[in-house]
Amino acid sequence: MSSLRRMKKPIAGLVIFTLSAFTIISVPAHAVMINTAEIFKQNQQDLARERINMFLDRSEVRKNLETWGENPNEAKARVDSLTDQEIAEIATRIDQLPAGGGALGTILGLAVLVFIVLLITDILGFTDIFPFVKKVDK
C-alpha cells in the first residue's frame, strides 16, 4: 500500500502531461455543408464504376478479353485507376451499345419481314413471285 502512495504523484503527473499533450496537439474539427448535387454526382460515379465492373464480369466479355490476350483482372484494375470523367464516358458508351446481336440479326430480321410481306401479297394475288403459293381466286 505504501508503494502505491509513493507512485501517486508520478502517475498523476503522467496523466496530466498526457491529457495536456492531447489537447494541445489535437486539431479542431471543421464541419461543412455538403451540396445535394455533389452527393448525387458521387453516387452516379459509383454506379457507373459498378456498371463497368459488372460488364467486365460477364462471361462473354471475359472470353473476348482472353481471346485478345488481355487478363480480365488487369482490365478491372485499369478501370479502378480511371478518372471519373473517363468512367462516365465509358458507361455512356456501354449504354449505347446494341442490346444483343448486331448487323447480322438486323439483316436476317429484315429478310424474314420482306419474305412474309411478299408471301402475303403472293397469296392475295397481287404478285406472282413464289411458284409454290396457291393463289386466291377472285
pLDDT tens for 13-72 read 888 888 887 777 766 777 888 888 888 888 888 888 888 888 888 888 888 888 888 888
Say how far residue 62 (Cα) sits from the centre of its chain. Answer: 15
Amino acid at 66: E
* Domain assignment of residue 82, given as a range: 35-97
Q: Is residue 76 one of the residues assigned to a domain?
A: yes
Q: Is residue 137 one of the residues assigned to a domain?
A: yes
Q: How many CA atoms lie within 13 A of 81 on its CB side?
A: 6
Q: Is residue 1 one of the residues assigned to a domain?
A: no
Q: Is residue 85 one of the residues assigned to a domain?
A: yes
Cβ 125 vs Cβ 135: under 8 Å: yes
Cβ 87 vs Cβ 49: under 8 Å: yes
Q: Assign 98 a pLDDT band (cuts: 50, 70, 90).
A: low
Cα-flanking dihedrals φ and ψ of residue 69, to 5°? Answer: 85, 20
Q: Which residues of 34-73 are buried (b: 16+ CB within 10 A; e: fewer)?
A: eeeeeeeeeeebeebbeebeeebeeeeebeebeeeeeebe
pTM over 0.95: no
Q: Which residue has the higher pLDDT, 136 or 51?
A: 51
What is the average pLDDT across 117-135?
Answer: 81
Distance CA 62, CA 41 (A): 29
Total tally of structural domains belonging to the chain: 2
Same domain for 87 and 59: yes
Q: Is residue 55 one of the residues assigned to a domain?
A: yes
Same domain for 137 and 85: no
Q: Assign 137 a pLDDT band (cuts: 50, 70, 90).
A: low
Same domain for 83 and 60: yes
Radius of gyration of the chain (CA): 36
What is the average pLDDT across 95-110?
Answer: 71
Same domain for 134 and 118: yes
Q: How many CA atoms lie within 13 A of 62 on its CB side?
A: 8
Same domain for 92 and 39: yes
Strand residues in 1-138 grouped as ranges (E):
none
